[in-house]
Structure 1
Amino acid sequence: MDNPAVLLLSEVYGTLKGGISAIYRRLGTILTNRVPDVWVSTAVLDATEDDKDEAKRDGVDLLLPTVHPGDDRTDPCLHWLTFDHRVKYPNLPSNVRSIVGHTNGTSRAACRIKQDRCPDARVVLFIDDIPEDTEQYKGDEEAIGIGKKEDSILKDAEQADVIFSVGDRTFDHFKNQFRAIPVNKRPRHMKFFPRPSKIFEDSDAEYTETETMVVLCIGRVAGVEKLKGFDLAVEALSIVAQKMRVKLRVRGVDKDDIQVTKAILEHCKSANLQITFLPFGTQKDICKDMLQSHLVLMPSRAEPFGLVGLEAIAVGVPVLISDKSGLADLIIKFARRYHNCIVETDTGGDEQRNVGNWARCIERVLRHCEAEFETAANMKRELLSTRYWEESERQFIDICKTGVRKEPGSSSKLRPGRHMHQTVDPGRLKRPRPVAADMSTMTTFSSLGREESGDRKAPREPGTSSQLNSPDRRMCQTSGPSSPKRPRLVAAGMNVKTSHNSLGYEEENEGRKETIEDLIKDNYVLLWKRLQVEKLIPYFIQKRLLDFPDKQVIMSNATTPGRAEALLQLLSDRATCTPEVFVEILKEGDHQNIVDELKKK
């Protein structure tokens, strides 16, 4: 198979377990729809017949492990993907360009498969957990291991090319943590806002008056009852059950897990409260649960994001979510006027205050349930109308279509845009390598952005013309360093067509119009040293070539050359600005001196 491929690694396909699998399913679907020439495969440990049918409908190649006769190791585990992938998954796509995994899950497998079988692939990792926040609620043993889990994520990040942190809360945490990674190993770090799956968006919950109200909690429960706040939910509903008929359904509990069910039932203080435990389910199961509920609770004491709460919002059922969640941040950011669904949850130890607060909020919603369904429908419509997820998905698609390079001695080359954490070190751009005339040497870039052809070269400092690294380019150089284009002397009688470039001098017309990338490359050192970016940005914004988030990212660089570097990289990558407009902006932005220097070349 010659088409470039993206390989996603997940334990399961599009089911409740882990949450990240639902994100993977969405990403695989948008890749197949928007980039049809990219082959999308998802390697999983196990899959149901429904999973296989869904993957087929999504256009995703589902890769299942091979189990050989006589091998008694039949219980799926991550070691199959990490250490036994050659045997368990012998038929990976032949031209894998990106391997996608997630920390504390398939991240090690992604790095190992790259090392063993796909050396030219880039590693893209998702982070959806903050161990420092969540592990303290999983018991003493887990709390002691917080430092090890945080360090494990940093180790994975060092080997990755791109990190997507799910939500503001996770992004902010690791933006700080990644400062401990050496600059030359630091990945490109980006924020990711997930979109609810189509099955939830296509559903519309409706209110029906019943004698008994159904409240739903969803999530993996074993070992995390306190983290997920199931004790708060049960104790709060015990109070409510004394005033009205209500039942609780808990989706995510194995019926045979007596220890978990006992731990939850211990918090039930009312004989009037009926609790029903349901096992892990597919998205179809969860959606049905939501449509049959009057209220969905997400009472977590620490929730880096909270995808299940977002899915409930997409269905249009009333929700109450903890303020200690990334989903609460999303609502404040994109649908602030619906903040009443956010419940203050004290993590300082005042449990009775928490229980009372949740009980009051639950009772309020259930007593005015019809009106709350109308509010939930409006919230769904307004939140989805913002299309808050589009920038995240565009960035992911760009990564899979193009490439990412880390430069030795500097941080990752970043395309300025929304929700990015960027540190740009100027002057680390490579120039083409001279090659002997009778040689044809291919210079490529590894996933870490280093040249791979013989000896590894140290980064160069500015001072001569340099080659800008466009993210989607592999370079094949068979001549010496490029030089600025100049008027060409032509012998009498030669019929060579010429044209005038943006600076007014003649150049040979080789069937290609000068691009902004040509202009920047040919004059990079001059522009890098002398551009006063703060004077030019207003004109780029006015001409719709930049937007305000671009400005914020560019100006976040501490030095003047660093800002110039970021601006030039952006203009080169997007290729929406013409050389003529660039020169016009230089003139308008009090850079006539640079225009004059360009004309002299």
Structure 2
Amino acid sequence: MSEPAVVQQEVAAHLFVPLDSSLTDQGLRSFAGIWNRFRQRQGADEPVTAWIPTRIPDHLPDAPLHGSVPVAAVQADKRLDQAIVRRDHEILGLSLLLGAAPGRTWPDLRRRLDELVGPLGPAHLGGVTLLLGKKPDATAGKLELSELGTRDERESMRNLSLLGTVPEDSLLGAWAWSNGDATEMPVFVRYLMHMTSVRHQLAGHSRLADGGSRAFLRPPYGGGGTDRELTGPAEQLRATRHSVERAWDNACRALRVCDPAGDTLVATEVLDDDRNFVGWFTEVLDDELAQVELVRDKEAPDVPERAEQPEEASRAEPSRSAEAPSRTETMPAVRGTSSERPVRVLVVADEWFSKAGGLSTFNRHLCIALVAAGADLCVLVEKLSDQERAHAAQHGVRLHNAARPGHIGAETLMRRPDLPGGFEPELVIGHGRVTGPAARQQSEDHFRGSKRLHFLHVEPDQGEWYKLPGEVDVGAHTAARTKREFDLCRGALRTVPVGARLENALLRERHARRHEALGPPLRIYPGFDTGTPVTGPPPPEAVPQILLMGRLDVAGGKGLDIACRALGKAVPERSHPGRWELVARGVPEGESHAFRTMAEKWIDNPAVHVIPRPYSSDPQEVIDDVARASLVLMPSRAESFGLVGLEAITAGVPVLVSSRSGLGMLLTETLPPDQVERMVMDVGATAREVKNDVTRWARAISNMMWSVSGAFQQAAEVRKTMADRVTWHAAATKLLDCARESAPPTD
């Protein structure tokens, strides 16, 4: 049985030229030539609207933040043939339509189109030809999209057909030409534009592989494009991969806007093939980059091995009880020189192992680093186990049990301790409101010759709003908490804010007259030179896990609602139930069922399975959670620093970090812009901004999960950069130098 005839046959062509290339002028001249030929041969002299010029102006209009702007438009008599030029950010699109009329068929129209366009030169990104038509038996409200001929991504022109049903002009026009009388670029054409950019990257990559020296960098919207020399193979590959990743992200966004329900096309083979092509291309780029770096490492001259090798040490270490921190906490073995006198330091802590949270982990790393940097250190803790004492002793740290009969909790830390060997500290360290009051009493009442450093870990005016129930007067509570935090800074030699965000808060507070006497800030960062990196991404056959960690008793502060809603939108369309797993570590005891119900409601997609897990004081459980993850999320609305993100980075696991965190600020200061753009995400932090937050995070999650192996390769680069530039040894040395400078000269 023969196929039903396709009637009302038309041909549309969409051509694209980059406006940020060294060949832009050549591309504009090409467009002008095509435009003039179209007007002459098709008799297209009539304006489409009164406000769009019929010639391409010398100065193009500015691109809008969203969508496109028409530049020029003409049409033939009775609107049979049309041409329109549109600007979409840094891409100029020229669209030609040869309309349906008696005696016009696809072969004739294609020949005429070829005469009008001619061959595309190197100044073009490429283009797409669309054969449009109507089938009498087509399904109402549906379109049939198919690839014509043999698919070859290296060709500059792509050939597709798009068919609808006879009575429906509006649907076919909205996808292929214009939505009613609108002059903006159709969203599906924008999808094709971004896919053309990806194909252009493949062509450029092929030229580089053949010995070329230029790569065209197509940045995301809002960035300044560039056509520049990329000197080394690794830089070329990274630039190409970033361009492909951003173009694909923009293409997916356009497709979601074009067809939000995903049910307009009868079949999706063309779109599926596009997805497979992008996946294949990024895998090729990742493999080639790995080979380049392997060769570079082998050819690198021998250099002295760094003193610290915590990863290797951990592999050789015998297994320990799960309660003890991993051997990977070993700090760089860089001791103070003989000319540096050891500083006697008393650190006041509530615990050694991390049963109560991240502050204990921070303190443990810091103490180990202080000893490695030359301190004579003793740590005062509320209570002490033999296992904790043994662990600390391995790193040269002495723990002193403050527990006494009749005294409980923090009260034990207030009393004068009977320190071993008559130890008299010259520096006392306390952490926030947890051990800051006890440290102040130890320094001012018991060891009056000592100086005190007070660590600032939180900013109550930000975080407390997301932690307290609605019936509490949060304003009054945060005011009291803020006053208490900053009052503890009084009398300290220096206040030590952890990160730039807290330093900024302290500097602002010191402008108030009553707080002028606050100790000046001495900002430090936790080090990134600990932890054992994972060997690579989880096996591809395993269900990917996305990890969210922290005390998840309240959704607001940690951005749980943002994470869940974003995951529901980011998971690939047509996914089977349980395609991804969200592991939430930190759910309060007894609330797992309610938590899962709430999370599933936000996700609203059976493709994401929710796994609630309680908060754990076992460091190894956290290490294992991170090692199993394909991606770690930290979408916090308020986060003074963000030790969860630090855990992921030191393990070499991909992570998305809130820009509102101290960690996000540090990464922005330290990493190259392209790495920051991939992993530091804005969070609006208000109810009004939730929709934008979700869209932004969904796009970032989709980018990371599209090529997990590539994301892990980028995470390894971030880990190396941060471990080289931000170390625990640097933090410890900064503290000890401060103590030495403030001490009176010795004979």
Aligned equivalent of 1:324: 660
Q: SS at 2:558's partner residue?
A: coil
2-structure distance, mates of 1:206, 1:258: 28
Partner of 1:269: 604
- Corresponding residue number in structure 2 for 1:227: 557
Give the number of equivalent residue pairs: 394
Deviations 1:41-74 (A, max 9, x none): 2222345665344212222112234253xx5x7x
Q: The residue matched to 2:510 in structure 1 has which SS?
A: helix
Q: How many Å apart are 1:393 and its aligned residue?
A: 2.9
- Answer yes or no: is 1:107 the counterpart of 2:424: no
Task: After TM superposition, give the deviation of residue 274 of structure 1 in Å.
Answer: 2.4
The residue number in structure 2 matching 1:596 is: none
User: Which of 476, 486, 491 is the equivalent residue of 1:159?
Assistant: 491
CA RMSD between the two structures: 2.9
The DSSP-based 3-state class of the residue aligned with 1:297 is strand
Question: Does the 8 A contact of 2:529 with 2:726 survive in 1?
Answer: no
**Aligned: 1:77 with 2:416:** no
Contact 2:528–2:726 (8 Å) recurs in 1:
no
Identity %: 22
Q: Which amino acid aligns with 2:546?
A: V
2-side partners of 1:47 and 1:354: how far apart? 44
In 1, the alpha carbon distance for the partners of 2:635 and 2:507 equals: 26
Aligned to 2:736: 397
- Which of 507, 510, 517 is the equivalent residue of 1:185? 517
Instruction: Check if 1:291 corresponds to 2:622.
Output: no
Higher relative contact order, structure no. (Cα contacts within 8 Å, ≥ 6 residues apart): 1
Q: In the alignment, residue 347 of structure 1 is paired with which amino acid?
A: A
C-alpha displacement at 1:264, in angstroms?
Answer: 5.0
Change (3 A) 1:397 1:206: farther
CA shift in 2, pair 1:334/1:79, >3 Å: same
Among candidates 524, 527, 544, match of residue 195 of structure 1: 527
Give the match for residue 675 of structure 2: 338
Deviation, 1:98, is: 1.2
Aligned partner of residue 40 in structure 1, secondary structure: strand
Alignment match, 1:591: none
1:170 and 2:506 equivalent?
no
Give the alignment partner of residue 306 of structure 1, picking from 642, 657, 682.
642
Q: Quick one: which amino acid aligns to residue 138 of structure 1?
A: K
Return closer, same or farther for 1:8/1:90 CA change in 2, 3 Å cut-off: same
Q: 1:134 to 1:183 in 2, by over 3 A?
A: closer
The Cα shift of 1:307 comes to: 1.9
CA distance in 2, matches of 1:197, 1:390: 9
Shift in Å at residue 9 of structure 1? Answer: 1.6
User: The residue matched to 1:157 in structure 2 has which SS?
Assistant: coil
Residues 225-264 of structure 1 aligned to structure 2 (within 5 Å): 225-240=555-570, 243=573, 244=575, 245-257=579-591, 261=595, 264=598
Aligned partner of 2:393 in structure 1 is 56
Question: Whole-Å Cα distance in 1 between the matches of residues 698 and 385 of structure 2?
Answer: 39
Deviation for aligned residue 1:473? 2.0
Aligned residue runs from structure 1 range 297-446, under 5 A:
297-336=633-672, 337-339=674-676, 340-349=678-687, 350-387=689-726, 391-400=730-739, 402=740, 404=742
Q: Which residue in 2 is equivalent to 1:473?
A: 745
- CA distance, structure 1, for counterparts of residue 588 and residue 681 of structure 2: 28
Conserved 8 A contact 2:389-2:398: no
Is the 1:225–1:264 contact (alpha carbons within 8 Å) kept by the matching residues of 2? no
Query: Is 1:118 aligned to 2:447, yes or no?
Result: yes
- Pair 1:146–1:246, CA change in 2 (3 A): same
Aligned with residue 549 of structure 2, among 218, 241, 244: 218
How far did residue 216 of structure 1 move?
0.9
C-alpha deviation, 1:26, in angstroms = 2.1
Quick check: 2:536–2:709 contact (8 Å CA) kept in 1? no
One-letter code aligned to 1:317: V
Shift of 1:277: 0.9
Classify 1:268/1:228 alpha carbon distance in 2 versus 1 (closer, same or farther; 3 Å).
same
- CA-CA distance at 1:255 after TM superposition: 3.3
Segments of 5+ residues of structure 2 without an aligned counterpart are 1-340
Quick one: distance in 2 between partners of 1:159 and 1:322? 34
Using the size of structure 2 for normalisation, the TM-score is 0.49
TM-score between both structures, scaled by the size of structure 1 = 0.60
Asked if the contact 1:4/1:95 (under 8 Å) is kept, the reply is no
Q: 1:396 to 1:4 in 2, by over 3 A?
A: closer
C-alpha contact 1:365 1:372 (8 A) present in aligned 2? yes
C-alpha distance in structure 2 between counterparts of 1:230 and 1:362, whole Å: 14
Tell me the equivalent position of 1:568. Answer: none
Q: 1:196 to 1:341 in 2, by over 3 A?
A: same
Moved more, 313-322 or 381-390: 381-390
Deviation at 1:188, TM superposition (A): 3.2
Distance in 2 (alpha carbons) for counterparts of 1:155 and 1:296: 36
Aligned residue identity for 1:269: D
Amino acid at match of 1:153: E
**Secondary structure, counterpart of 1:384 in structure 2:** helix
Q: What's 1:554 paired with?
A: none
Any idea what SS the aligned residue of 1:256 has? coil
| Partner SS for 2:640 | coil
Task: Answer yes or no: is the 8 Å Cα contact 1:193–1:392 preserved in 2.
Answer: yes
1:108: Cα distance to partner? 0.7
- Counterpart of 1:130 in structure 2 is 459
Q: Check 1:183–1:248 CA distance in 2 against 1; reply closer, same or farther (3 A cut).
A: closer
Q: CA deviation at 1:399?
A: 3.1
The DSSP-based 3-state class of the residue aligned with 1:185 is coil
- Alignment CA distance shift 1:105-1:403 (3 Å): farther
Q: What's the CA shift for 1:377?
A: 0.9
Q: Whole-Å Cα distance in 1 between the matches of residues 439 and 488 of structure 2?
A: 10
Structure 1 residues 274, 391: CA separation in 2 closer, same or farther (over 3 Å shift)? closer
Give the Cα–Cα distance (whole angstroms) in 1 for the partners of residues 394 and 496 of structure 2.
Answer: 26
| Residues 15 and 282, structure 1, Cα contact 8 Å, conserved in 2 | yes
Q: After superposition, give the CA deviation of every residue in 1:72-102 in whole Å (9 maximum; x if it has no partner).
A: x7xx6323323xx34xx54476311111111
Which deviates more, 10-19 or 124-133?
Answer: 10-19
Residue type of the partner of 1:214?
A: Q
CA contact (8 A) 1:162 1:189 kept: yes
- Deviation of the 1:392 alpha carbon: 3.4
The 8 Å contact of residues 225 and 231 in structure 1, kept in 2 or not, is answered as yes
Q: Deviations over 1:475-516 (max 9, x none)?
A: 8xxxxxxxxxxxxxxxxxxxxxxxxxxxxxxxxxxxxxxxxx
CA–CA separation in structure 1 for the residues paired with 2:501 and 2:433: 18
Supply the distance in 2 between the matched residues of 1:230 and 1:216 (Cα, whole angstroms): 11
* Counterparts of 2:534 and 2:355, CA distance in 1: 17
- Which deviations, in whole Å up to 9, do the C-alpha atoms of 1:340-397 show, x marking residues without a partner? 1112211232223322322222222112111111111111112222246655332212
Q: 1:8 is aligned with what amino acid?
A: V
1:205, CA displacement in angstroms?
4.3
Is the Cα–Cα contact under 8 Å of residues 528 and 723 in structure 2 kept in the other structure?
no
The one-letter code matched in structure 2 to 1:371 is G
1:226 alignment partner AA: G
- C-alpha deviation, 1:300, in angstroms: 0.3
Task: Assess, with a 3 A threshold, how the Cα gap between structure 1 residues 390 and 30 changes in structure 2: closer, same or farther.
Answer: closer
Cα offsets for 1:123-181 (capped at 9, x unmatched): 11111211122222223434432221221122111121111111111111111102235
Distance, in Å, in 1 between the alignment partners of 2:637 and 2:557 is: 5
What 5-or-longer segments of structure 1 have no aligned partner? 405-470, 476-601
